[in-house]
Amino acid sequence: MSTQLAGDRSLPLRERKKLRTRRALADAALRMFTEKGFDATTLEELAEEAEVSKSTFFRAFPAKEAAAIEAEAELWSAYLTALAGRELSGPVLNELHQALAAAAAGLDPGWDERFLATRRLVAAEPALLAYVEQYRAGIKNQVIASLAAKLRLDAEDLRLHVLAELASTAWSVSGRHWVRNGGRGGRGALIERLDGAVRAIPASLDLSAPA
């Protein structure tokens, strides 16, 4: 999924139109699913709201669930792109942290509200929660494959799996806190919380109960 903006004049007109259509569908999905409910909203109603055909919807998204979590997908797509473009140096967890922070920082200004609304919707819809978990599992597999190629390691190396999980968990912990607080402090507060979550990992591993 492209993370570029529909108004980016460096893109061909055809690509800008596709991105505008995708955003219109995602915005309509988030609005209608929040107001009416995920199951109660049909694809036909969603396509009509965005003034496109049903076939156009499926050219943009593989399923209703994908349209509902577009804000989430924007982040993880940007994360994969940032990681792919990094020349790894030093501790790999720090590299994943920096890629994830850069991805979040680079999203468009309206992403904050879309993400907050998406997370609230996901919390209310079990089907969407399951879809998000499956989606994130796929992202982690792509992170592992990218690290394996960059570090010339076997993709089954457990260290890569643990690192991918740690980065994802650090985001989950910071994101949940940010959403619970209504996005207070904006994007900067979210990224600062992510920084803190990553810094807490080594201390967490060393934490011991009194003998």
pLDDT tens profile 47-99:
999 889 999 999 999 999 999 999 999 999 999 999 999 999 999 999 999 99
144: its two tokens: 């592992």
Average of per-residue pLDDT across 100-122: 96
**Residue 148: band (very low, low, confident or very high) from pLDDT cuts 50, 70, 90:** very high
pLDDT tens profile 114-135:
999 999 999 999 989 999 999 9
This prediction's pTM:
0.89
Rounded CA gap, 28 and 68, in Å?
9
Beta-carbon contacts of residue 40 (< 8 Å; ≥ 6 apart): none
Rounded CA gap, 187 and 178, in Å?
9
Rounded CA gap, 123 and 126, in Å?
7
Beta-carbon contacts of residue 53 (< 8 Å; ≥ 6 apart): 47
The 8 Å CB, 24+ separation contacts for 184-188 are: 186/112, 187/104, 187/105, 187/107, 187/111, 187/112
CA-to-CA separations, 33 to 41, 83, 130, in angstroms, rounded? 6, 32, 16
Q: What is the pLDDT of residue 29?
A: 94
Mean pLDDT score across all residues of the chain: 92
**Residue 5: band (very low, low, confident or very high) from pLDDT cuts 50, 70, 90:** low
Q: What is the pLDDT of residue 159?
A: 97
Q: What is the pLDDT of residue 4?
A: 52
pLDDT at 112 over 90: yes
pLDDT at 1 over 70: no
**Residue 14: band (very low, low, confident or very high) from pLDDT cuts 50, 70, 90:** confident
Q: What is the pLDDT of residue 13?
A: 77
Beta-carbon contacts of residue 201 (< 8 Å; ≥ 6 apart): 93, 166, 170
Average of per-residue pLDDT across 196-200: 96
pLDDT tens profile 44-58:
999 999 889 999 999
Please state, for a pLDDT cut of 70, what percent of the chain lies above it.
Answer: 95
